Amino acid sequence: MKSIRVHEPGAPEVMHLEEIPPLTLTSGQILVRVHAIGVNPVDTYIRAGKYARMPAMPYTPGTDASGVVAAIGEGVTRCKVGDRIYTAGTLTGAYADHTLCNESQVHPLPDRVTFEEGGGINIPYATACLALTRKAHAAPGETALIHGASGGVGIAAVQIARALGLRVIGTAGSERGLAMVKSQGAHEVLDHRTSDYPERLMKLTDGRGVDVIIEMLANVNLARDLTLLAKNGRVVIVGSRGPIEINPRDAMARDASIMGLMLFNAPEKELASIHEILAAGLKKGELRPVVGRTFQLTEASKAHHAVMEPGAYGKIVLLP
Ligand code: NAP
């Protein structure tokens, strides 16, 4: 079988497509024929050796794939051979033409969702759903700022927030991204490259501020976010690429809460319930990943460069 392998951490070019022995299935496991693979920023941090949880070398990157069940081990009851599925983590890595999973890592992919879209579900949608429901406890009628709405997590957050009945303001850093965020259901869009977007946000909320902020780049925005919150507002930090100084009084004045979120910390039971919520939204068509660019698996290094560039436009997906 074909698999991307990383023998030592480094630049995107340390990833090479290799022919490796076929995977062997044991009881309780599922062998998946992979059709599409979602590329997430965390894949690049791990590949670069800059992540707290590093795999043993060599390894195959990736957690998010979609595909078809090719074989099941003894005792597997959640799916059968031929089922369309998406993965929420794998045992052997997703950047390959086959991957092995535990039963709990495999979720049904509704017919209305393509394989390419299915590769973009797990990390973005589970993170956005946790942030809005379990952390922010966002309620219908509240206003949410999705700060960085043009990327994988952002689009998921816009769609989930709309499904929850929130008023949604989304930001992006390109004209194309802004148009897409609007088309995905944001009531208003703002360009986070402009210096006056905070004032425009305050105008959009009649000076009240927003109830919830889902923040993709806290090291740039957190100090200002605290000034954009309404009373009892909540900021959920999803992404941050460095330190930042804040004025705690901005939080005190609003009785505001700042919450961190790490998807990998979520207990299995909580993840199972999040994927049930996602299943309902995917089935109804309320949730549907936007695929911005596809690359062949042989071009994994190009995809890793692309996911770290500005001007995000949905998910980057690899095709084996
Ligand atoms: P992505 O697809 O690459 O999108 C990045 C987003 O950040 C884009 O919408 C981008 O907008 C936006 N951005 C760029 N500059 C910004 C600014 N100044 N203010 C606000 N937003 C800005 O990445 P992703 O998959 O959505 O992930 C987003 C971040 O969350 C990454 O840092 C990722 O590592 C992290 N993350 C964390 C968890 C967790 O468990 N905590 C889970 C998933 C992701 P433009 O490109 O349009 O400017």
Render 206-247 in DSSP notation, one character per residue: TTS-EEEEEES-HHHHHHHHTTSEEEEEEEEE---SS-----
* Within-domain flag for 279: no
* pLDDT tier, 16 (very low <50, low <70, confident <90, very high otherwise): very high
Domain that holds residue 49: 2-121+289-319
The pLDDT, as a whole number, for residue 120 is 98
Q: Is any ligand 1 atom within 6 A of the Cβ of residue 311?
A: yes
* Within-domain flag for 280: no
Distance CA 304, CA 312 (A): 13
Paired tokens of 201: 């946000």
Ligand 1 atom nearest 309 alpha carbon: 46
CA angle 113, 283, 189 (to 5 degrees): 75
pLDDT tens, residue by residue, 118-149: 999 999 999 999 999 999 999 999 999 999 99
What mean pLDDT value characterizes the chain? 98
Mean pLDDT of 46-69: 97
Please tell me the total count of domains within the chain. 2
pLDDT tens, residue by residue, 79-89: 999 999 999 99
pTM over 0.95: yes
Name the strand (E) or helix (H) holding 70.
strand 64-72
Mean pLDDT of 232-254: 98
Cβ proximity of 212 and 145 under 8 Å: yes
- The half-sphere exposure of 295 on its side-chain side, counting CA atoms within 13 A, is 17
Percent of the chain scored above 90 by pLDDT?
100
**What spacing in Å lies between the alpha carbon of 30 and ligand 1's midpoint?**
31
Q: Domain check: are 174 and 107 in the same one?
A: no
Distances in Å between the Cα of 188 and the Cα atoms of 175, 202, 293 are 14, 12, 25
Q: Domain check: are 94 and 166 in the same one?
A: no
Mutate to test the pocket of ligand 1, among 46, 153, 274 (most ligand atoms within 8 A of CB): 153
Q: Is any ligand 1 atom within 6 A of the Cβ of residue 157?
A: no
Residue 177's domain is classified under what CATH number? 3.40.50.720
Residue 34 CA to its chain's centroid (Å)? 19
Q: Is any ligand 1 atom within 6 A of the Cβ of residue 58?
A: no
Nearest CA to ligand 1 atom 5: 151
Q: Is any ligand 1 atom within 6 A of the Cβ of residue 214?
A: no
The pLDDT, as a whole number, for residue 134 is 97
Buried-exposed string 149-174: b where 16+ CB fall within 10 A, e elsewhere: bbbbbbbbbbbbbbbbebbbbbbbbe
Ligand 1 atom nearest 311 alpha carbon: 46
Q: Domain check: are 127 and 114 in the same one?
A: no
**What spacing in Å lies between the alpha carbon of 84 and ligand 1's midpoint?**
28
The pLDDT, as a whole number, for residue 149 is 98
